[in-house]
Amino acid sequence: MKIDDVKNICVVGAGNMGHQISTLCAIKGYHTTCTDISTGVLEKAEAFVERYLPGRVEKERLTAEEARQARERIHFVPSLEEAVKDADYVIEAAIEVLDVKRQLFAELDRLAPAHAILATNSSAIVSSRIADVTTRSEKVVNLHFFNPALVMKLVEVVQGPHVSEETVRICLDLCKRLEKEAVHVKKEVDGFLLNRIFRVINQEAKWLMEMGVASVADIDKACVYGAGHPMGPFQLEDLTGIDLSYTMAMERFKRTGQRGDFPSPQTAARYMRGAFGQKTGKGWYDYTEK
């Protein structure tokens, strides 16, 4: 298979990452189906597209005709079987829980065409922990977009020991077609490239905060005005979701048993009271006035 053989893309999971990846694929010319087990999430995803495309026309980033064609190419389908039946490339963007992904990939392997590549957008779970539930392990790969997927240029293509060179080549070529900057991660390592670096920064930021060395705002200021980061670690976590960070940390802790991988006390406290960041109005910062 070659990149020119990829015509139809299916995105499984219509949450923040899923619906943005779906929208991107449709804009770049791919016939795209997006599916989710929640009809409410699927409806919100479709509503996002209905707002986003006209907004791009108003900002002169798309022509009216380009927006119209993109809208025609994207479909929101509640049935997983219907969504993947013609897929050449599947991108899973579901919850970061290993058991859920393994169950889902077993279904995808059964339902998707035999030639289809099955990619996970996971930023924490390597594809070798999923591939064995399928009959196409050489086609199971990490294709990790960054949030927000419509804006962030970086995509990590992670080649586990089971992934074929053909699959990697198609993934890298797909990133080019989507106008993304791909990095080829040649070995499976925890956190891949960027998140592995960011996790060290985040852990230090949390320690400084928990020990009362500096406030959340001042730690963020130090990273922005001293290190040149576009936003500090707490601002970034509010954007991506404290719930996501907590879930990923818990999954890592279950795997390693290392105390340092356990979520920090204040992270856990926010997770337990549903203060997930921007999506809920409160996280490390208060967004209710906005």
Give the total number of structural domains in the chain.
Answer: 2
Euclidean distance between CA atoms 124 and 97, whole angstroms = 9
Catalytic residue among 92, 96, 156, 237: 156
Q: Is-above-0.85 flag for pTM?
A: no
- Give start and end residues of each alpha helix (H) in 28-120: 39-58, 64-73, 80-84, 98-111
- Identify whether residues 242 and 132 lie together within a single domain: no
Q: Which of 16, 22, 122, 123 is catalytic?
A: 123
Domain CATH for 97: 3.40.50.720
Q: Does residue 123 have an active-site annotation?
A: yes
Active site residue 107: no
Q: Are residues 149 and 35 in the same domain?
A: yes
Q: How confident is the prediction along the chain (290 residues), in pLDDT tens digits per residue?
A: 999 999 999 999 999 999 999 999 999 999 999 999 999 999 999 999 999 999 999 999 999 999 999 999 999 999 999 999 999 999 999 998 899 999 999 999 999 999 999 999 998 899 999 999 999 999 999 999 998 899 999 999 999 999 999 999 999 999 999 999 999 999 999 889 998 898 899 999 999 999 999 999 999 999 999 999 999 999 999 998 999 999 989 988 988 898 888 999 999 999 999 999 999 999 999 999 86
Indicate if 195 belongs to the active site. yes
User: Do the Cβ atoms of 27 and 70 come closer than 8 Å?
Assistant: yes
200 and 94, same domain (yes or no) = no
Q: How far is the C-alpha of 172 from the C-alpha of 184, rounded, in Å?
A: 8
Q: Do 73 and 211 sit in the same domain of this protein?
A: no
Residues 260 and 132 in one domain: no
Q: Say yes or no: 10 and 35 in one domain.
A: yes
Regarding whether 103 and 57 lie in a shared domain, the answer is yes
Identify whether 284 is part of a domain. no
Which residues constitute the domain of residue 200? 196-272
> Rounded CA gap, 56 and 64, in Å?
9
Sign of CA dihedral 221, 223, 229, 235: negative
